[in-house]
Structures are given as structure tokens and as C-alpha cells.
């Protein structure tokens, strides 16, 4: 049985996409289907490669019982377009950049997390705690909806 492979993508892979990776992993684990998924995150830029998530992302996740502290930032690589089924951008500019980076023959489906609402998840990097709380709520809602969509296709 092949796994459904999902990569969440934002600009630097320290705020939004680590939250999405952690929350999607939480949904998958809570429903006992972790053996059916491979989950990761990356950034379109390489400024933070090797760094842990932003402490504010770690804190908001921890407030909700999700540990993302062991994640390390990576940059989107051409292999991601064939190793993953879905590349999920946090906003329209991430999605546009992914389409630009996609090599010929890329297999991954590229879309926004809040695609159905056509809504960007804002970058909270320059925001305070309220910005991270808003992003947490949006990412939690989006990852749960994505999980339900992917499970409906899998079953």
C-alpha cells in the first residue's frame, strides 16, 4: 500500500508550514491512520535551512498539545515534486513560486491550503501572539479539511 505524501510549504519553513505539518500529523495520528501518510514541510526560500520553527509557532502549537520543536527547516527541492503527491502552499505567492520551481514531469498536485475559500494564510513572522493565534486557527481548520478530503479519496 503506498502512502499519501503531503508537503506543506511557506516562505521560510519556520512559521506556517511547520504548524501545518504538526497539525496534519496530529489529525492523522488522532485518527490512527499515520501508516497511510508521509508528512513534511519546506520553504520556498533557504534562509532558515536547518533551524527549528519560530519559537512563537512552537509555543502556539504546544498550547494545543502539538509538539513541533523537533522539526528543522528545509528548502523546496526538485525531488519534492516527485516524492510527494501534494505540495500545499500557505498562500498564493507560495503556490505561484511552486509552479515556477516545478521541474518538467512534476507529479505532485500543487494547491493552497485554504484553496476552497481562496484565502491566504498570512505570514505571522512580523506579528505578535495574536497573529500566531490567528494562523494556528486557520491552519488547524485547513489541515483538518485537507485530512478529511484525502481520507475520503483513500477509503
Paired with 37 in beta bridges are 4
Say if CB 52 and CB 13 are below 8 A apart: no
CA 87 – CA 80 distance, rounded (Å): 8
Annotated catalytic residue 16? yes
Work out how many domains the chain is built from and give that number.
1
Is 20 or 107 the better-scoring residue by pLDDT?
Answer: 20
Please identify which of the residues 5, 15, 16, 115 carries the catalytic annotation.
Answer: 16
Note down the domain range covering 27: 4-154
**Strand, helix or coil for residue 17:** helix
Secondary-structure breakdown of the chain: helix, strand, coil percentages, each rounded to the nearest 5:
45, 15, 40
A 10 A CB-CB count for 34 gives 14
pLDDT in tens, 122-154: 999 999 999 999 999 999 999 999 999 999 998
Angle 129-154/16-30 helices, nearest 10 degrees? 40
Annotated catalytic residue 123? yes
Question: At 32, which CATH number?
Answer: 3.40.50.2300
Please identify which of the residues 10, 15, 91, 120 carries the catalytic annotation.
Answer: 10
CA 123 – CA 145 distance, rounded (Å): 20
Annotated catalytic residue 56? no
Query: Is residue 1 very low, low, confident or very high in pLDDT (cuts 50, 70, 90)?
Result: low
pLDDT in tens, 42-89: 999 999 999 999 999 999 999 999 999 999 999 999 999 999 999 999
Helix and strand element counts for the chain (H, E): 5, 4
Please identify which of the residues 54, 91, 120, 123 carries the catalytic annotation.
Answer: 123
Amino acid at each position: 500500500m503506498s502512502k499519501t505524501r503531503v508537503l506543506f510549504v511557506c516562505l521560510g519553513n519556520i512559521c506556517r508550514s511547520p504548524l501545518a505539518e504538526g497539525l496534519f500529523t496530529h489529525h492523522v495520528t488522532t485518527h490512527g491512520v499515520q501508516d497511510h501518510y508521509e508528512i513534511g514541510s519546506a520553504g520556498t526560500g533557504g534562509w532558515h535551512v536547518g533551524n527549528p520553527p519560530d519559537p512563537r509557532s512552537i509555543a502556539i502549537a504546544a498550547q494545543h498539545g502539538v509538539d513541533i520543536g523537533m522539526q528543522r527547516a528545509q528548502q523546496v527541492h526538485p525531488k519534492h515534486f516527485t516524492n510527494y503527491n501534494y505540495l500545499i502552499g500557505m498562500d498564493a505567492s507560495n503556490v505561484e513560486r511552486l509552479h515556477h520551481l516545478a521541474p518538467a514531469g512534476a507529479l505532485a498536485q500543487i494547491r493552497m491550503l485554504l484553496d476552497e475559500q481562496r484565502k491566504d494564510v498570512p505570514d505571522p513572522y512580523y506579528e505578535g501572539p495574536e497573529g500566531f493565534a490567528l494562523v494556528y486557527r486557520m491552519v488547524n481548520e485547513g489541515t483538518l479539511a485537507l485530512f478529511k478530503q484525502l481520507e475520503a479519496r483513500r477509503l
